[in-house]
Amino acid sequence: MSTCTHESMINHHGQGLFAQALAQLSETVHVWRERYQMRRELARWSERDLHDIGKSWSDVAFEAEKPFWRA
């Protein structure tokens, strides 16, 4: 009697083109989401917090107004 698991059923000869594209898309969406969240967080910082890291409100406005897909 043999036991088949999901891991043993995976083709380990390399990912297909679709799987690679899906993985890249997933990574891109993850980066975009992190960027969006970090910019929203930065926009909530106080003047004192910004001073501590050497940034001004104009720096924050410039960064926070960027679309999530722009680095």
Q: Which two tokens stand for residue 29?
A: 């969406």
> Given this model, what pLDDT does residue 46 score?
94
- The answer to whether residues 42 and 64 touch, using CB atoms and an 8 Å cutoff, is yes
Reported as a single tens digit per residue, the pLDDT across 43-67 is: 999 999 999 999 999 999 999 999 9
H-only helix segments in 1-71: 6-9, 17-43, 47-52, 57-64
Mean pLDDT value of segment 5-33: 81
> 23 pLDDT exceeds 90?
yes
